[in-house]
Amino acid sequence: MKYKEPSAEDLQRLKDELGLSSAQMANLFGLSSGRHWRGYTETGEKRRSISAQTLFFGLAQKELDAEAIARVLERMRQAGATIDLSASGGDSGSSQD
């Protein structure tokens, strides 16, 4: 897979287009906090890189219908994952991007 991440400006524009707060963007993208999201829109050395998987996860939630998302989550559970999109943060036993 070839992937070039969007710029900080691109991600800020996406946030503005969606009309969401940093906390809401964090929730949409499965991140721990609004501060985590803001790291993607920082410039310079403080900027975090957004992975293709994180970007896909957030945008899939915006673009796919609830039924399609439910099917994917069920397949994840069948593969052994535990996932609840309505739960907030907590200790999942793994780090989030």
Q: What is the pLDDT of residues 74-84, one digit of tens each?
A: 999 999 999 99
Query: By the 8 A CB rule, do 50 and 26 touch?
Result: no
Q: What is the pLDDT of residues 6-64, one digit of tens each?
A: 999 999 999 999 999 999 999 999 999 999 999 999 988 889 999 999 999 999 999 99
Task: End-to-end CA distance of the chain: give it in Å, rounded.
Answer: 18
CA distance 58 to 11: 12
- The SS3 of residue 64 is coil
Q: Where are the domains of the chain?
A: 8-78
